[in-house]
Chain A
Amino acid sequence: MSSDITSSPPEVAVTVNGVARALAAGSSLRDLIEALGFAGRPIAVEVDGDVVPRAALANRTLVGGEQIEIVTFVGGG
């Protein structure tokens, strides 16, 4: 058996909230948010330690290896 790796669509691997995740190459942060079902929800996004404002999510293409945090508010004192 031989596998034809060239037939698999290229992917980028990122880490989202500590969990490894693969996306189609060329995906933007906005694509990721939509794939996770978070579009329109109250979230903030950080990539490699820096906040990415909502307006900039669509223009931020994932290159692979990013550490992404997606946060919201919860109860706290």
Chain B
Amino acid sequence: MHSVDTTAAIPALDDAPLVVGGITLASRLVVGTGKYATYAEMARCLGVSGTDCVTVAVRRERLINAAGENILDHLDAARYSLLPNTAGCYSADDAVRVARLGRELLRDMGSATSEWVKLEVLGDTKTLLPDPVGTLEATEKLVADGFSVLVYTSDDPVIAKRLKGLGAASVMPAGSPIGSGQGVLNANNLRICLEYLKDGDPAYPVIVDAGVGTASDVAFAMELGADGVLLNTAIAHAQDPVRMAAAMRAACQAGRLAFLAGRMPRRLYATASSPDDGRIVRPT
């Protein structure tokens, strides 16, 4: 049985909510809808994760078995903001095409996030690393076309700055390759991304997208000062996805709280927590 209530023990965050492209999100977790064993399991995981923003992909409607289930039958449109992606696109033009189809689907549904796109322009099939040139080109085109572009990118601070300069609604650096579960591999690059992107603009949303393997990866990204984390496989391919969804929710809140609280400085040597005064013995 899963009846984890991760909210009860956590005090009020006293925190401004995350706003992306004019939409206010209650949760700082964005969760993908791919790779779940069943739609029912997906729906339970999303609910337990506490997310109110989920990604979806745009694919050909099946010409056979067209009466089959659609993922939208299992996603409460009133509860979740839908963020369509351009996953599987390897050129700027392809990504723009797919983004426009996602927008049309959302407009047809009357969705408040119809102008949103999670832009992915991939460089190669083995790494799924972003193509920085294609990503810049597609960002420029989509912004000009009125999209709120949430852009998947590498942890390169220079590219991140360029993407923001082109008008991306959120820059989303990868912690490590998509679906790799390696967590945040280059914390220093992420720190620089955060510093550059938030310079004079502290509310600019930076979401760590991709690479999360387990809860501590989420907490770590949030402790660095990310505004949110986007993940999918870490929940969907956990041994117990529903329990992992609860862990991700708690980790996201814990990491955010720790960031807001401000961590103590690191020191090379120990400092005793118990007083020296009043000891009945002496150090040898």
Assess whether B82 is in contact with A73, with CB atoms less than 8 Å apart: yes
Question: What is the CA–CA distance of A51 and B34 in the complex, to the nearest angstrom?
Answer: 25
Assess whether B63 is in contact with A36, with CB atoms less than 8 Å apart: yes
**Which segment of A2-10, A23-31, A37-45 sits at the interface?**
A37-45
Task: Judge whether B232 is part of the interface by a CB distance below 8 angstroms.
Answer: yes
Task: Judge whether A71 is part of the interface by a CB distance below 8 angstroms.
Answer: yes
One digit per residue, 1 when the CB lies within 8 angstroms of any chain A CB and 0 when it does not, for chain B 93-116 equals 000010011111101110000000
Assess whether A76 is in contact with B100, with CB atoms less than 8 Å apart: no
Task: Judge whether A63 is part of the interface by a CB distance below 8 angstroms.
Answer: no
Determine which of B35, B42, B85, B105 lies in contact with A44 in the assembled complex, contact meaning CB atoms within 8 Å.
B105
Assess whether A70 is in contact with B97, with CB atoms less than 8 Å apart: no
Determine which of B32, B61, B72, B210 lies in contact with A76 in the assembled complex, contact meaning CB atoms within 8 Å.
B32
A6 to chain B, nearest CB (A): 31
Q: Which of A21-77 contact B (CB under 8 A)?
A: 36-38, 41-46, 49, 51, 53-54, 69-77
A75-B105 in contact given A19-B63, A36-B63 (Cβ < 8 Å): no
Question: What is the CA–CA distance of A19 and B60 in the complex, to the nearest angstrom?
Answer: 11
**Which segment of B51-59, B252-260, B273-281 sits at the interface?**
B51-59
Task: Judge whether B40 is part of the interface by a CB distance below 8 angstroms.
Answer: no
Task: Judge whether B71 is part of the interface by a CB distance below 8 angstroms.
Answer: yes
